[in-house]
Amino acid sequence: MNARPRPRNQAVVSSALLIAGAVLLFVGTLMHPIHENPNDALAAFGEYAADNNWLFSHMAQLAKVAKHAV
């Protein structure tokens, strides 16, 4: 039994991960609240605190970035 994956399988997995990462980053960025001026920390963090999806949006962005570290 050959334990090494074939190069074609690696290309398919890499392509799927690339697309999934792009989708995660896009969705996370869409859900990220960006209406307040980012240079106004009090207003920006107040907007984050009022947003119900802030955890998901940041976790989606983190998953995208963490995927590149692997």
Q: Domain spans of the chain?
A: 25-69
Q: What is the pTM of this model?
A: 0.57
d(CA 42, CA 36): 10
- pLDDT by residue (tens digit) across 19-35? 888 888 888 778 777 78
Helices 7-31 and 54-69, packing angle to 10 deg: 150
The residue among 43 and 7 whose pLDDT is bigger is 43
**What CA–CA distances, in Å, run from 36 to 3, 7, 29, 41, 59?**
53, 47, 15, 9, 21
Residue 3 pLDDT exceeds 80: no
Q: What is the mean pLDDT of residues 36-40?
A: 88
Q: How many CB atoms lie within 10 A of CB 41?
A: 10
Residue 18 pLDDT exceeds 70: yes
Query: Do 32 and 57 touch, CB atoms closer than 8 A?
Result: yes
